[in-house]
Chain A
Amino acid sequence: MSAKRREPGLPQAMLARFEEMGLDLDVFVPALLRLPSQTFRINTLKADRESVLDALSYLDPEPVEWNDLVFRVKGRQKLGNLVEHFLGLIYVQDSSSTIPVTVLEPEPGERILDMASAPGSKTTQIAAGMQNSGLLIANEVSVKRIAALTGNLDRSGVLNSVVTKQPGQAYGHIATGYFDRILLDAPCSSEGTLSRSMRTLEIWSENSIIRLANIQHALILSAYYALKPGGVLVYSTCTFAPEENEGTVTHLLERFPESIVEPLELKGIDSQPGFSEWRGEDFDPRVKNMARIFPHLHDGEGFCVAKIRKPLT
């Protein structure tokens, strides 16, 4: 299909970009607009995996391959109305959204920063990985979104969080070399979540991609400064725009050429490597270690993830 043909709801400029990314619009666009199957994550802060599975056996959940706490359910359910949800035994989370923290591999007792955390899907996942110990800073700049974040921290039974409200850009100065791990799930143009909400289109434009990429540049540098030597930074977005993915990581690699982009092993996910160039501009070759998740290849929302390590010396 040519980008010239009108796809109801999607701007021509967006379709043209998808085509430039080498995507077959006939296959990609319907998948992008179709809701992925529902998934939930077991919250081990409240109960162990087996007893939650026992309680939820009536849903006949199916495990995913990359994370043994994540399950798909058949059909469409009102998971948010279940007693098990009220109890905080499960967190309803898109399958792709569970990948960044799976890759972050949080450990008990560590110091971890979630730099852009609301509404807390990934914060609560990190807290579970830390077994409620150590220190988890859940930072968020938007006061409106903090209520949802604290609600989810409460329901999930998180004890090791400190919620802060400031631009993530500040952390590089106030906590230089402090954190073992940092998640930067960045504010982005959210192209990958169009199946859930077309509201993304209200703010989507080529200009907003550039504006967001500039914010991401500042955030990723701040995160890198705040990382301990040997520490791990996971950078993720729910968008396809190369400027916001490979472009942002290339920006970091230009400033800190010694940083390492680790290859990702995502069992059971048909992910694609990072792009090597966009619109005639080459990215740092190491960004091919990033994982791009496309909804026509993986039953989940669109995502892009990078795992970056700060060398010890």
Chain B
Amino acid sequence: MRSKDKKTSHLKRPERTQDVLIARMLASFEERFGIDSKHFHAYRLFTRSNDVWCSSLDAGKAEFPHVVRRGLRLARVFDFSVKPTTNAVQLFGHLVKRNRIDLDPDETRLFLKGETQKIEAPRDATDGFVAAFYKGFALGIGLLKGENLKSQVPRSRRVIG
């Protein structure tokens, strides 16, 4: 899923405009997770470098000095993949139709620690980014490779205790 060609991924391509990045993210959300892009019509989507962000329409257009940020980061768009953020999955997880993995309490604990764990097959998911759930609530993103699920919970959000 991920770009192996790390050497060229930093090069800015002419087609990497805001619209292209957003379109790629929406297409990936639809294809990988079955999230219909119409759910984002009520929001403003915009980019900052290779990240797609999402805000309410009013927050997207308000002009104020000294803005630090608006809304929430939805995904990072790589050359050959799109990686949703933990925060985005937690908020829009109820829309995920495929590539979901339900975790039990012990698996959830490991996931929250940011660890990689063996997941019993078969699960309704293919290799790549998957949305992990606990008791019906979306926890975040994991990277599934065979039987291994690697938690993508960022360091700052991990629960170690």
Contacts and interface: CB of A to CB of B under 8 A. Distances in A.
Contacts of A154: 72-73, 87, 157
B91 interface: yes
A159 B71 contact: yes
A30 B131 CA distance: 49
Interface stretch (B27-35, B55-63, B75-83): B55-63
Contacts of A135: 56, 58-59, 62
Closest 7 CB pairs of A and B: A160-B56, A157-B91, A135-B58, A163-B68, A166-B66, A81-B161, A154-B87
A148 to B, nearest CB: 11
Contacts of B136: 51
A146 to B, nearest CB: 6
Contacts of A159: 43, 54-56, 59, 71-72, 91
B59 A161 contact: yes
Contacts of A87: 90, 134, 137-139
Interface of A: 45-47, 51, 55, 78, 81, 83, 86-89, 109, 111, 132-137, 146, 150-151, 153-155, 157-166, 170, 174-175
Contact of B59 (A81, A157, A160): A160
B102 to A, nearest CB: 13
Contacts of B91: 45-46, 157, 159
Given A88-B90, A134-B56, A175-B64, A81 B159 contact: yes
Contacts of B67: 162-164
B159 A55 contact: no
The listed residue with most B CB atoms (<10 A of its CB), out of A51, A135, A162, A163, is A162
Contacts of B64: 137, 162, 164, 174-175
B66 A164 contact: yes
B41 interface: no
Contacts of A51: 136
B139 A86 contact: yes
Contacts of B116: none
B8 interface: no
6 contacts: A86-B139, A133-B56, A135-B59, A153-B72, A157-B90, A164-B67
A47 B55 contact: no
Nearest to A146: B68
A111 B73 CA distance: 22
Given A46-B90, A133-B58, A163 B135 contact: no
Contacts of B62: 135, 137, 162
Contacts of B55: 159-162
Nearest to A166: B66
B18 interface: no
Contacts of B137: 46-47, 55, 87, 89
B56 A155 contact: no
A111 B138 CA distance: 30
Contacts of B112: 83, 86
B58 A155 contact: no
Interface in B59-115: 59, 62, 64-73, 87, 90-91, 108, 112
Contacts of A155: 87, 90, 157
Contacts of B159: 81, 83, 86
Nearest to B54: A159
A91 B156 CA distance: 17
Interface in B113-161: 134-139, 156-157, 159, 161
Given A87-B137, A174-B65, A175-B64, A134 B58 contact: yes
A55 B135 contact: yes
Nearest to B55: A159
Contact of B68 (A86, A133, A160, A164): A164
B156 A132 contact: no
Nearest to A175: B64
A164 B112 CA distance: 30
B58 to A, nearest CB: 4
